[in-house]
Amino acid sequence: PSRGTAQLGADAMKTSAGALNHIAVCRVENLKTTIKEIQANGISVIACSEKANDLVYAADLTAPLAIMMGSEEDGISPEYLKLANGHVKLPMNGQIESLNVSVATGIIIYEVLRQRG
């Protein structure tokens, strides 16, 4: 969404270590409409949520997909979870219940790349 998200300025570029030069990033006015448009174009939307039943390692992430991550505080809203084609979670061990969203995103992207060889 175009509101309630971090700005893509100099700080974001520095934090990304230049990755923003290689990753397509867009801002949208209506996330629900955008999710439906993505799906209509043959791209699966995978929601990453600690409430999911399936581990990310068991999911097939080789097809075209969009990864949906929620905020650290609230996660993904139920409205958007319903729209997703699939739901995955990262395995947690011990007393750790969740990870920072940037760390979790990195792990998910690593798994996508690993599966795609």
Six-digit token string for 40:
């209509």
Q: What is the reported pLDDT for 82?
A: 97
The answer to whether position 70 is within a domain reads: yes
| pLDDT (tens digit per residue) in 40-54 | 999 999 999 988 999
Residue 17 has pLDDT above 80, yes or no: no
CATH code for the domain of 51:
3.40.1280.10
The answer to whether position 91 is within a domain reads: yes
The answer to whether position 26 is within a domain reads: no
Number of domains in the chain: 1
Residue 66 has pLDDT above 90, yes or no: yes
The answer to whether position 8 is within a domain reads: no
Q: Which residue range is the domain that position 36 belongs to? A: 31-116
pTM (whole model) above 0.85: no
113 vs 18, higher pLDDT: 113
> Do residues 16 and 8 touch, judged by C-beta distance below 8 A?
no
The answer to whether position 13 is within a domain reads: no
> Do residues 60 and 38 touch, judged by C-beta distance below 8 A?
no
The answer to whether position 20 is within a domain reads: no
Q: What is the reported pLDDT for 14?
A: 74
The answer to whether position 14 is within a domain reads: no
| Dihedral (Cα; 17, 20, 22, 26), 10-degree rounding | 160
pLDDT band at 69 (very low <50, low <70, confident <90, very high): very high
pLDDT band at 4 (very low <50, low <70, confident <90, very high): low
